[in-house]
Each structure stands twice: as C-alpha cells, then as structure tokens.
Amino acid sequence: GEDVEQSLFLSVREGDSSVINCTYTDSSSTYLYWYKQEPGAGLQLLTYIFSNMDMKQDQRLTVLLNKKDKHLSLRIADTQTGDSAIYFCAESPSYGGSQGNLIFGKGTKLSVKP
C-alpha cells in the first residue's frame, strides 16, 4: 500500500543546516513534495521534485531523491528561527490518469534554537 514515513521531531541550532528525511513506498510516484505548516495555518508548498531527478536546489532548500531506496530529504541551509514549523513530505502516486491526490507523512516538527 501507499505509505509515507517521517521522523516526528528535529531540533537544530540557528545557523546550522537541517535535514528532514522521508521514505515512501509507491514506486510509481511521479512527484514528491515538501510542505511547511506553521501553527494554526494551512500548508505552504516549499518545493517539489519530479521522480526522474536526483536533486533540486532552490535558495536555502535542497531536495535529494534516491528513487532506488525511495528516500527523499529536505535540507535547509542556515536554518533560522522562522523555519520552525512542521514539514510534511507527500507523494503523488500518479498524475494525469488519477485525481492527483497526495499521500502525506505525519510531519516532522522542526525546532530551531537560538
């Protein structure tokens, strides 16, 4: 079945890099996503990667995809206190033929200490 796993907590010091990991099970996923949720708010799309890519970089964010191991990671460089939030990994099992629904992990709560 479809399942997305994430560690629940990560704590880092301000200025350090944060790495949030995710594993997924559906090898047919065409896109994989990272969303950020701040308290009481909706989800903000941070970045996403197409399954035929290994890496995608966008400013402080770097996404690495190991399709063989079905492992996705999000690296945040120079982590700031404003990065404290819950980060959700999500996969889209397929695109075009389906509705495009997403399967979410449980979220990783990132705490940034000054």
Partner 1 sequence: GAVVSQHPSRVICKSGTSVKIECRSLDFQATTMFWYRQFPKQSLMLMATSNEGSKATYEQGVEKDKFLINHASLTLSTLTVTSAHPEDSSFYICSARSWETQYFGPGTRLLVL
Residue 71 CB coordination number (10 Å): 14
Q: Which is nearer to partner 1, 13 or 106 (CB)?
A: 106
Which spans of this chain sit near partner 1 (rule: CB under 8 A)? 30-31, 33, 35, 40-45, 48, 88, 92, 95, 99-102, 104-107
In this structure, are residues 16 and 9 in contact, taking their beta carbons and an 8 Å threshold? no
Q: How many residues does the chain have?
A: 114
Q: How far is the CB of 5 from partner 1 (least distance, A)?
A: 11
Residue the block writes with tokens 């399954």: 51
Question: In this structure, what token pair is assigned to residue 40?
Answer: 């009481």
Q: Where are the alpha helices (DSSP H) in the chain?
A: none
Residue type, 55: M
Q: How far is the CB of 78 from partner 1 (least distance, A)?
A: 26
Q: How far is the CB of 7 from partner 1 (least distance, A)?
A: 13
